[in-house]
Structure 1
Amino acid sequence: MDLGLKNKIAFVAASSDGLGKAVAMELAQEGARVIINGRNPDRLGATQKEIEVACNYKVLAIAGDLSNPTERAKVLESIFKEVNHIDILVTNTGGPPAGRFEDLSLDQWHQTYQLLLESAVALIQAVLPGMKQQQWGRIIAITSQAVKQPVDNLILSNSVRASVVGLVKSLSNELGIYNITVNNVMPGYTKTNRLLSLIDTNPDFKDAINEIPLKRFGNPEEFAAAVTFLASERASYITGTSLAVDGGWIKSML
């Protein structure tokens, strides 16, 4: 199946590791020109080389913390020095700290807002003029299964990621006229360093595999395939949706 992604320009946030890295690799293998980002320059450089070897073309890698307004502005400036528009935006971040409500400070809530919502809003604001001008675009938010069914001990993620879903649904209504689709993808328990860290530090996560009908954790590549489809021409009539890639963990019918 030709996904129609050849030479599309894709910016994948937080893509030096984990789900973001898998998405960037999958998009690149489908012919998109990917721009990757991460806070750790060494890890970002290693990912850049890995994608370049796999796909045989130059990858633009820009280090920076997208939750920090100053660093985010520098990242965006660097991107638009190299390209005049972005076709595909994948918003993504690391996860906020685990913890219950009374364990968390107002500062941690504010930091989570900056990490999860403010960064997504700012990136969308930056790429939207180019998408509207060319009458084509794909905006895909990576959130979490927690936006549909809260995960115990992850109240920061449960709460603030849900606001990203409201943003996605609202934008899908506003931007459809410009042939821009806006969707949300909800990863379940997937074998990333984030999940391994949660399992190591919190006993509640050790038995999570028993809650999954498929009785296994997902692979990042399985998640990346779903995101890549939504970024493609083949998904041109899908917008405003939240797609779970969770092995059946979410129990609701809708």
Structure 2
Amino acid sequence: MDLGISGTCALVLGAGGGVGGAIVRSLAAEGAKVVVADIDGEAAEKTADCIRSAGREAFSIKWNISDLAVIERNVAAIEDRYGHVSILVNNTGGPPPTPVSGQAAEQWSKFFQSMVLSVIALTDRILPGMRNAGWGRIITSASSGVVAPIPNLGLSNALRSTLVGWSKTLAKEVGGVGITCNIVLPGRIATPRIIFLDEQKANREGRCVEDVSAESVATIPVGRYGNPEEYGDVVAFLASTRASFITGSIIRVDGGMITSI
């Protein structure tokens, strides 16, 4: 199936590894010119180099998304190289595991800036180019915690839920000019983040990480953690011309794990 995105410019945040790396590889395989952005510049360049080695076009940017001051400079550099961004994938790192209560105001402010305000500010900067072109895709990777709050991920549950309301509202505002906005929810995808969370839970409960992981897998109907590539391919489809009637939606990529309707 031709997804119709060959030659478009795609910017993926957090693309140095994990689901972000899988997303940018899937988009590049479809012929998009990809921008690999990550706070870890070496990881971003490694991913970009692998994409170039496969005969696709990519370049990397070391990007701390919580620094709003660099948005203009970085987007301008992308536009100079590839033209306006047609596909934006907002994929930010998550906060540390914590209860939702008793967190300092400074903690809330720090992660609101890096996980929410940064996404909104970057999207606002890129939207004019999409509007002028009459086509665009804004895809935001969130968490299953926005529909079924995850214990001890209080900051993540609350802050990522803010992005759901924002994305749904934005979808109504820009749908008429050919721009779609969707949220994608990963279940338990086999990434370093999931390994870290399993390790943290094992430490808190005085258990071995293998038992914690096995217990988690038992809650997934397909009986395993997801592969990052499976997640990346779903995002690539949402970024395609074939997905032009999907907007304002929440797409679950979870192997049936999320129990809410």
TM range (shorter): over 0.9
Q: Which amino acid aligns with 1:184?
A: I
The 5-angstrom pairing of residues 114-153 of structure 1 reads 114-153=113-152
Among 240, 243, 251, the alignment partner of 2:251 is 243
Q: CA deviation at 1:23?
A: 0.3
Q: Which amino acid aligns with 2:26?
A: E
Partner of 1:218: 226
Runs (5+) with no aligned partner, structure 1: none
SS at match of 1:212: coil
SS at match of 1:202: helix
Partner of 1:193: 192
The 5-angstrom pairing of residues 30-45 of structure 1 reads 30-45=30-45
Aligned residue pair count = 252
Partner of 2:99: 100
Partner of 1:177: 176
Partner of 1:65: 64
Partner of 1:231: 239
Counterpart Cα distance in 2 of 1:109 and 1:93:
15
Counterpart Cα distance in 1 of 2:56 and 2:158:
40
Counterpart Cα distance in 1 of 2:46 and 2:162:
33
Q: CA deviation at 1:135?
A: 0.6
Partner of 1:25: 25
Runs (5+) with no aligned partner, structure 2: 206-211
SS at match of 1:133: helix
Counterpart Cα distance in 1 of 2:93 and 2:257:
21
Normalised by the length of structure 2, the TM-score is 0.93
Partner of 1:158: 157
Counterpart Cα distance in 1 of 2:197 and 2:71:
27
Q: Which amino acid aligns with 2:245?
A: Y
Counterpart Cα distance in 1 of 2:69 and 2:122:
13
Query: Is the contact between residue 31 and residue 56 of structure 2 (CA under 8 Å) also seen in structure 1?
Result: no
Q: Which amino acid aligns with 1:33?
A: K
Counterpart Cα distance in 2 of 1:159 and 1:68:
21
Partner of 2:209: none
Q: Which amino acid aligns with 2:45?
A: G
Query: Is the contact between residue 65 and residue 72 of structure 1 (CA under 8 Å) also seen in structure 2?
Result: no
Per-residue CA distance 1:108-127 (angstroms, 9 max, x = gap): 11111112111110111111
Q: CA deviation at 1:202?
A: 1.4
The alignment status of 1:14 with 2:22, answered yes or no, reads no
Partner of 2:89: 90
User: Cα RMSD between the aligned structures?
Assistant: 1.4
Query: Is the contact between residue 28 and residue 56 of structure 2 (CA under 8 Å) also seen in structure 1?
Result: no
Q: Which amino acid aligns with 1:247?
A: G
Q: CA deviation at 1:39?
A: 1.0
Query: Is the contact between residue 11 and residue 90 of structure 1 (CA under 8 Å) also seen in structure 2?
Result: yes
Q: Which amino acid aligns with 2:169?
A: S
Identity of matched residues, %: 38
Query: Is the contact between residue 29 and residue 56 of structure 2 (CA under 8 Å) also seen in structure 1?
Result: no
